[in-house]
């Protein structure tokens, strides 16, 4: 890598953190910190520090490097190019506060120099737009956007993908017995169980009311059923303490996968099939998992 001579941008003493905030792409609002001394790579490959399931990116597309007190972006021979302020770059380019950085055809970031407080504020805005306020899981809108991206990635790489849909059994009874605050306590507990019981690469979101959807990358139907059984058992054994009372609850699961719907699958088909199997689980007595039929 060869760098041309440049004058590093002057960083205000309190705004010395490089930050990329996604303004277009699969995860709008996402904040990436650029630490001095680190050189994160961006691309589709799992080997990259920042991975994006986007067909417009090369496997290892670009990287940001720290040189002489400045952040520079370098294209790594990508097919669709790296752009700074809409100009395709051919050599490492210094990033300045407010620059527009584009990787490939779809993913765009705004580079900024921020204080620790400003970076924290950016992250809070992102969290509030993508996270359900009660459970801490992803909102339905963000979940659907992520699921679309995961399906496209899985189909492109002929990789398995499973979707789990679950809800709380007899949730109306919980609300009638303990009131809506008691029901909220159950949903918060369920959100915590899912957050702790899933892998880093899995995606869990509140789909509506007491319904939740989980996306399992690299997992087929049979493994998805096993994962659902494990979560079902954890939920069944968990106890919610509310106003001096203990509340136990169970959940039913429907499991669908790409192998169930074929190569023309889309989000609506997968979720619909998982929902149908969840309905079968209810018919079979609840507190069970259905992955076929």
Q: How far apart are CA 201 and CA 46, in angstroms?
A: 11
User: What is the Cβ-side half-sphere exposure of residue 172, based on CA atoms within 13 angstroms?
Assistant: 0
Contact by Cβ (8 Å): 163, 274:
yes
Closest CA to 160 of 225, 114, 79: 225
Q: How far apart are CA 60 and CA 43, in angstroms?
A: 5
Structural element, H or E, at residue 113? strand 107-114
Contact by Cβ (8 Å): 167, 148:
no
Instruction: Give catalytic status of residue 210 as yes or no.
Output: yes
Considering the candidates 46, 127, 210, 223, report the single residue annotated as catalytic: 210
Closest CA to 187 of 207, 202, 217: 207
**φ and ψ at 22, to 5 degrees?**
-70, 125
Q: Which residues are catalytic?
A: 210
């Amino acid at each position: 890598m060869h760098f041309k001579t440049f004058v590093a941008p002057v960083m205000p003493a309190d705004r010395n953190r490089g930050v990329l905030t996604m303004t277009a792409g699969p995860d709008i609002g996402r904040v990436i910190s650029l630490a001095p001394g680190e050189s994160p790579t961006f691309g589709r490959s799992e080997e990259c520090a920042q991975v994006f399931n986007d067909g417009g990116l090369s496997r290892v597309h670009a990287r940001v490097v720290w040189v002489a007190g400045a952040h520079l972006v370098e294209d790594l021979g990508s097919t669709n190019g790296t752009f700074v302020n809409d100009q395709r770059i051919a050599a490492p380019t210094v990033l300045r506060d407010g620059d527009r950085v584009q990787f490939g055809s779809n993913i765009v970031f705004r580079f900024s120099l921020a204080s620790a407080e400003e970076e924290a504020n950016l992250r809070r805005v992102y969290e509030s737009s993508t996270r359900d306020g009660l459970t801490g899981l992803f909102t339905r809108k963000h979940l659907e956007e992520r699921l679309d991206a995961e399906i496209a990635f899985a189909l492109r790489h002929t990789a398995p993908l499973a979707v789990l849909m679950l809800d709380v059994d007899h949730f109306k009874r919980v609300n009638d017995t303990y009131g809506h605050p008691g029901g909220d306590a159950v949903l918060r507990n369920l959100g915590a169980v899912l957050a702790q019981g899933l892998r880093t690469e899995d995606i869990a979101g509140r789909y509506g009311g007491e319904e939740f959807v989980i996306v399992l990358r690299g997992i087929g139907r049979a493994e998805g059923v096993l994962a659902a059984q494990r979560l079902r058992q954890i939920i069944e054994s968990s106890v919610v303490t509310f106003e001096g009372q203990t509340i136990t609850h169970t959940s039913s699961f429907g499991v669908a996968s790409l192998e169930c719907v074929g190569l023309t699958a889309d989000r609506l088909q997968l979720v619909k099939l998982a929902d149908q199997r969840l309905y079968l689980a209810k018919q079979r007595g609840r507190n069970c998992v259905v992955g076929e039929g």
